[in-house]
Amino acid sequence: MTIPADLKYTSTHEWAKLEADGTVAVGITHHAQELLGDMVFVEVPAVGRKLAANEECAVVESVKSASDVYAPIAGEVVAVNSDVEGSPEQINQDAYGAWMFKLKPDNAADLDGLLNAAGYQAVVDSEAH
């Protein structure tokens, strides 16, 4: 499994990508979608919703289970990916391409507090034991 080096990660298996326009795209990691299995439903937060860091804000459901998705940093939801809502299997096909929502961060520097690829790999490795 490759963990893209240009993204930031949470220990709860979300990824965050700083976009050129200053927004932050958020999705779940490849590892998370592997654990969940075939996605059947995605619920994203409403545009305009203010989120605190680590706040439950979305849900992914697979044939195995449902899992909450947490905001990696604080900010306001400025876009949602309706394609993923309509075709949740996109997350299984390309977890790092299928973003769920975008935030306008309260403080973009908060991204620096998230895990880098090596840090996230250590989280995944620790769960494997």
What does the block give as tokens for 37? 């299995």
pLDDT in tens, the chain (129 residues): 689 999 999 999 999 999 999 999 999 999 999 999 999 999 999 999 999 999 999 999 999 999 999 999 999 999 999 999 999 999 999 999 999 999 999 999 999 999 999 999 999 999 876
Q: What global pTM score does this model have?
A: 0.96
Q: Read off the pLDDT of residues 36-45 as tens digits, 9 standing for 90 and up.
A: 999 999 999 9
Three-class SS state of 73: coil
d(CA 97, CA 74): 22
Q: Determine the residue type at 87.
A: S
Per DSSP, what are the bridge partners of residue 101? 26, 80
